[in-house]
Amino acid sequence: EKGGHDYFMLKEIEEQPTAIADTLRGHLVDGRIVLDEQRLTDQDLRDVDKVFVVACGTAYHSGLLAKYAIEHWTRIPVEIELASEFRYRDPVLDRSTLVVAISQSGETADTLEALRHAKDQKARVLAICNTNGAQIPRESDAVIYTHAGPEIGVAATKTFTAQVAANYLVGLALAQARGTKYPDEVVREYEQLEAIPAAVAEVLESLGEARALGQELAPSKAVLFLGRHVGYPVALEGALKLKELAYMHAEAFAAGELKHGPIALIEDGLPVVVVMPSPKGRAVLHSKLLSNIQEIKARGARTVVLAETGDETVRPFADHLFELPAVPTLLQPLVATIPLQVIAAEIARARGYDVDKPRNLAKSVTVE
């Protein structure tokens, strides 16, 4: 059942190339991006002048990435908020606001209530969901389904990367509706997304390396994660996986904040995972992160670095280096997250915990 794996989560981690490919499939028709369900007009989409993304947990981390892509492609301002926070303040919404609700189960109470609140204020709602016929897509004006298949592991893995792919489809659909990208540019972005499953498969080839590192890190008391730009949500997701599965204190920081506090936490032997941007795609950020690695290394951190293949600049400062295939900047999270999922699962296993059913957690939280 687990396909020869020690736990379902590992099988689900390995299913990510398929989950992403299946989520993308069928969304480019005659050179145009199409949604799965659309109960609003193209004019409604064109009129969108503000986007709110609401979600919980891992889905929220995928939503953070939606902000980078949608703003970059459409120039529409995007806010991303935890569903449980959004609902209890007084967000400014009207009929030209699009609220994107992301939920694997489609039943999460906080996300559903946030959606209802948005609809009461006349906002349009688009759902990203992995479950056909669930409440959240049923109550939405438009839907993109992630086709990750059922996820047994309580901690989300393949549904996360599928959500990221779906978020990007939303960004491209909006760019197309608004005309902020030419049709051939939209097609080109879509094709770059289509190349991601192969890149993820490449990362999965070094799964053994991530598992071995997980075993080594298992006795650690805490792990820190650093990232910047799209690497920051990756760091947050890496830390969340570790809390959920290994019950370990894990915290992620935007690397630019290092000097404003977190550097005080660095002590001898503390593992710090750093998500490096591409030296070509994001040269300025790359050099800033490179100095961050030097700073933490000088203070005794045990550095685990995820960097683009061929990025030799980091090697002298990396106690452990994971090489990632070169992909466009916005898509890097889809490859960078994979080793972090495996490391968290392996630490949990090495500690003797049930990877698929972590204590105190439920797959879907239907109470507020």
Closest chain position to ligand BG6 (CB): 57
Alpha-helical segments (H) within the chain: 8-14, 16-24, 42-46, 57-74, 83-86, 109-120, 135-138, 158-178, 183-194, 196-204, 207-217, 231-246, 283-298, 332-350
| Residue 317 Ramachandran class (φ > 0 left, ψ -120 to 50 alpha, else beta) | alpha
Q: How far is the CB of 365 from ligand BG6 (least distance, A)?
A: 5
Q: How far is the CB of 155 from ligand BG6 (least distance, A)?
A: 5
Of the listed 243, 288, 357, 363, which one is catalytic? 363
Q: How far is the CB of 112 from ligand BG6 (least distance, A)?
A: 9
* Residue from 353, 75, 337, 33 nearest 183 by CA: 33
Give the residue with the Cβ less far from ligand BG6, 44 or 107.
Answer: 107
If one counts every other C-beta atom within 10 angstroms of the C-beta of residue 109, the result is 16
Q: Which amino acid is at 68?
A: Y
Give the residue with the Cβ less far from ligand BG6, 178 or 363.
Answer: 363
Give the residue with the Cβ less far from ligand BG6, 109 or 201.
Answer: 109
Q: Which residue has the tokens 């939303």?
A: 170
Q: How far is the CB of 163 from ligand BG6 (least distance, A)?
A: 8
Give the residue with the Cβ less far from ligand BG6, 66 or 199.
Answer: 66
Q: How far is the CB of 62 from ligand BG6 (least distance, A)?
A: 9
Q: Are 109 and 87 in contact (CB under 8 A)?
A: no
Q: Are 344 and 225 in contact (CB under 8 A)?
A: no
Interface residues toward ligand BG6, by CB under 6 A: 56-59, 103-105, 108, 111, 154-156, 361, 363-365
Q: Are 281 and 254 in contact (CB under 8 A)?
A: no
Give the residue with the Cβ less far from ligand BG6, 12 or 216.
Answer: 12
* Residue from 193, 205, 235 nearest 323 by CA: 205
Q: How far is the CB of 241 from ligand BG6 (least distance, A)?
A: 9
Q: Are 262 and 227 in contact (CB under 8 A)?
A: no
Count CA atoms within 13 Å of residue 365 on its CB side.
16
Local structure of residue 180 (DSSP, 8 states)? S
Q: How far is the CB of 33 from ligand BG6 (least distance, A)?
A: 23
- Judge whether 119 counts as a catalytic residue: no
Give the residue with the Cβ less far from ligand BG6, 43 or 360.
Answer: 360
Q: Are 43 and 141 in contact (CB under 8 A)?
A: no
Give the residue with the Cβ less far from ligand BG6, 76 or 236.
Answer: 236
**If you write DSSP's letter for every residue of 342-356 in order, what string do you get?**
HHHHHHHHHTT--SS
Active centre residues (catalytic)? 363
